[in-house]
């Protein structure tokens, strides 16, 4: 996928959440948009930081793990280190939490709300090596724009 596709997705997302102040409703629409527009994914959603752990937020896909400890698994690692985790083969990631055995690669992007680390965007794929550097840049830019309105 090209960066211009992510730029278009960003504009679509901003249009969906423009003027809406409900945080959860906005995250729900963002996850629905990404699920509709991204190829070869089987789960997309948010984990939100609450009471010192990540708690399942709005998502599209199969039922998921509800709580993830900070520092555990791909999502907990992304949150703890405040860095994107782009994993080509989740089965090789030490401490991977397998919520869906069909997921083989994953990208997790930490995001902020009102200047505070608020949670992570998590996207899984049944394909190995699904997420490229372009996907990472596009999704990071997407979330930077979206978080200004969350």
Average pLDDT of span 78-87: 98
d(CA 145, CA 26) in angstroms, rounded, equals: 13
d(CA 104, CA 95) in angstroms, rounded, equals: 14
Give the pLDDT score at 96.
79
Instruction: Report residue 139's pLDDT band, with 50, 70 and 90 as the boundaries.
Output: very high
Structural domains in the chain, CATH included, are 1-146 (3.30.450.40)
Q: How does the average pLDDT of the chain come out, rounded?
A: 95
Instruction: Report residue 50's pLDDT band, with 50, 70 and 90 as the boundaries.
Output: very high
Average pLDDT of span 136-143: 98
Predicted confidence (pLDDT) at residue 18 exceeds the cutoff of 90: yes
Q: pTM for this one? A: 0.96
Give the pLDDT score at 33.
98
Predicted confidence (pLDDT) at residue 141 exceeds the cutoff of 90: yes
Distance from chain centroid for Cα 60: 11
Average pLDDT of span 104-114: 97
Q: What whole-number percentage of the chain has pLDDT above 70?
A: 100
Give the pLDDT score at 85.
98
The token duo for 35 is 């699920």
- Give per-residue pLDDT as tens, 88-106: 999 999 877 777 778 999 9
d(CA 83, CA 5) in angstroms, rounded, equals: 23
d(CA 13, CA 146) in angstroms, rounded, equals: 7
d(CA 44, CA 106) in angstroms, rounded, equals: 10
């Amino acid at each position: 996928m090209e960066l211009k596709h992510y730029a278009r997705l960003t504009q679509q997302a901003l249009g969906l959440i423009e003027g809406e102040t409900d945080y959860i409703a906005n995250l729900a629409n963002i996850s629905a948009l990404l699920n509709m527009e991204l190829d070869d994914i089987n789960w997309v959603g948010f984990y939100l930081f609450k009471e010192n752990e990540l708690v399942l937020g709005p998502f599209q896909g199969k039922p998921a793990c509800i709580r993830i400890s900070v520092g555990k698994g791909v999502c907990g690692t992304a949150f703890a280190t405040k860095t994107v985790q782009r994993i080509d083969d989740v089965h090789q990631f030490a401490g991977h939490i397998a919520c869906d055995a069909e997921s083989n690669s994953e990208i997790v992007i930490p995001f902020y709300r009102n200047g505070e680390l608020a949670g992570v965007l998590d996207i899984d794929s049944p394909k190995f090596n699904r997420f490229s550097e372009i996907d990472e840049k596009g999704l990071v830019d997407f979330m930077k724009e979206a978080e200004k309105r969350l």
